[in-house]
Amino acid sequence: MTYEETISYLFNSTPLFQNVGKDAYKEGLDNTHVLDAHFNHPHKKFKTIHVAGTNGKGSCSHTLAAILQSAGYKVGLYTSPHLVDFRERIRINGKPVSESYVIDFVANHRSFFEPLHPSFFELTTAMAFNYFAEEEVDVAIIEVGLGGRLDCTNIICPDLCLITNISFDHVQFLGDTLAKIAFEKAGIIKPGVPVVIGETTPETKPVFTQTALERNAPIHFAEEEQYLLSNHINALGKRIYQTVDYADLEGELGGLCQIKNTNTLLSAIRILQTIGYSINESHVREGFAHVCTLTGLMGRWQTIQHSPKMICDTGHNKGGIQYIVEQLSVQTYHHLHMVIGMVNDKDISGVLAMLPKEATYYFTKASVNRALPEIEVQKLAKKVGLQGNTYPTVQKAVEAALAVARPEDFIFVGGSTFIVADLLSNRL
């Protein structure tokens, strides 16, 4: 098979969560353990850092990878979902896995895994771990796919666990309270392994504290350690941090959500240094300043063009949209245009109610099966006072916004990771 045929095979023969949602979710680690044994436990052949959380885990994973790359480590990075190309999910020192590796992996092992009927994510995780082992990475940053306790990445025994925050997302799998969701995320905490918690609430903190106590895991609450002192945006749109350890630390990621992410990372960096990772100040500065270049990160308050200014962001639940709304409120523009689409397993009405009412809306849908039809998004939006027309594709919606926007206007594209994916697929 060609690469395109192989990817089509993976998408169509294994349940893919971004396309079919809950039908792709397989509770339990049975398939994962069978696949792991088949490949001779590849995850035991390199160090790992495990990253979970509702929002911010992608940015934190990429930034940690960038810092460790800058320190001279050969770094694997496993994240999801991809935006443009499947190979984004599996990287070494920022370089995506080769097309030939993906082709050969499927061709050589399909006779074994087909009878198992693994999910897309189970198979992709096995591919990533096997690739990192074969390429002899020093350390791999492993982002949880969904939840933590029953996520197929949870067979690893990492050097450090990091849980960014807890918000309502995937409640049909993880629970309908913050405490229940925290329990699932806390499932990645391992005996004796230090864990950093980025943010807590009165509901979630006791869950993390109890789990860490039961597993004798040193726990660090970043919001209490507070190594970040202040921050501001410079003339180039870079966020500049004053921290306990680093003055004028420049971050390439300028979004407001990165403030909490940075404070979490500062705690994580200190722990990695104390457990033997060779990371100095120059490595931290390089990683923060060039995370997108070093790791290929996209879709985090990413500038698409400047006149009119167009920004996209993958924030898609209440926690993520809160930061986007705050970010929009401090922008300078004549008029705001919002290209918005959502998937059908989110708190859609809750998210729409948070969006600015003075904007012009362009309701659309992403090219995945889970995408909510644009007319349905429009109907729900009208109930909370949002006005706009519908468009069958992201490209059509963006073109409509560009056709009427003045140079001094602002266009935001988001509401779903897959809306951003469609935008970037047409732009790159």
pLDDT at 21: 45
Distance of alpha carbon 347 from the chain centroid? 18
Say if residue 12 is in the same domain as residue 88.
yes
Say if residue 241 is in the same domain as residue 326.
no
Say if residue 216 is in the same domain as residue 337.
no
Say if residue 128 is in the same domain as residue 101.
yes
**Of the residues 295, 313, 339, which one is the last residue of a structural domain?**
295
pLDDT at 173: 55
**Of the residues 260, 295, 330, which one is the last residue of a structural domain?**
295
Say if residue 232 is in the same domain as residue 355.
no
Say if residue 60 is in the same domain as residue 127.
yes
pLDDT at 28: 74
- Whether 175 and 184 have beta carbons less than 8 Å apart is answered as yes
pLDDT at 228: 98
CATH number of the domain that residue 337 is part of: 3.90.190.20
pLDDT at 167: 81
* Count of CB atoms situated within 10 Å of the CB of 211: 20
Q: Per residue of the chain (428 residues), what is the pLDDT tens digit?
A: 999 999 999 988 875 544 444 444 456 799 999 999 999 999 999 999 999 998 899 999 999 999 999 999 999 999 999 999 999 999 999 999 999 999 999 999 999 999 998 989 999 999 999 999 999 999 999 999 988 999 999 999 999 999 999 886 545 556 679 999 999 999 999 999 999 999 999 999 999 999 999 999 999 999 999 999 999 998 888 899 999 999 999 999 988 899 999 999 999 999 999 999 999 999 999 999 999 999 999 999 999 999 999 999 998 888 889 999 999 999 999 999 999 999 986 678 999 999 999 999 999 999 988 899 999 999 999 999 999 999 999 999 999 999 999 999 999 999 999 999 999 998 76
How many domains does the chain contain in total? Answer: 2
Say if residue 132 is in the same domain as residue 218.
yes
What does the buried/exposed string (b/e) look like for 21-53 if buried means 16 or more CB atoms within 10 Å of the residue's CB? beebbbeebebbeebbeebeebbeebbbbbbbb
Say if residue 134 is in the same domain as residue 57.
yes
**Of the residues 266, 295, 324, which one is the last residue of a structural domain?**
295
Which residue segment(s) compose the domain that 174 sits in? 3-295
pLDDT at 27: 62
Q: DSSP readout, 76-143?
A: EEE-S--SS-GGGGEEETTEEPPHHHHHHHHHHHHHHHGGG---HHHHHHHHHHHHHHHTT-SEEEEE
Say if residue 287 is in the same domain as residue 320.
no
- Whether 9 and 106 have beta carbons less than 8 Å apart is answered as yes
CATH number of the domain that residue 129 is part of: 3.40.1190.10
- Whether 292 and 59 have beta carbons less than 8 Å apart is answered as no
CA distance 255 to 238: 9
- Whether 304 and 398 have beta carbons less than 8 Å apart is answered as no
Nearest to 321 by CA among 416, 201, 242: 416
Whole-number Cα distances in Å, 81 to 42, 121, 234, 329, 403: 22, 10, 31, 28, 31
Q: DSSP readout, 135-196?
A: TT-SEEEEE-SSSSTT-GGGG---SEEEE----S--HHHH-SSHHHHHHHHGGG--TT--EE
Nearest to 359 by CA among 332, 374, 339, 375: 339
Say if residue 124 is in the same domain as residue 181.
yes
Helix H or strand E encompassing 311: strand 309-312
Integer-rounded Cα Rg, in Å, for the chain is 21
Say if residue 285 is in the same domain as residue 316.
no
Say if residue 238 is in the same domain as residue 365.
no
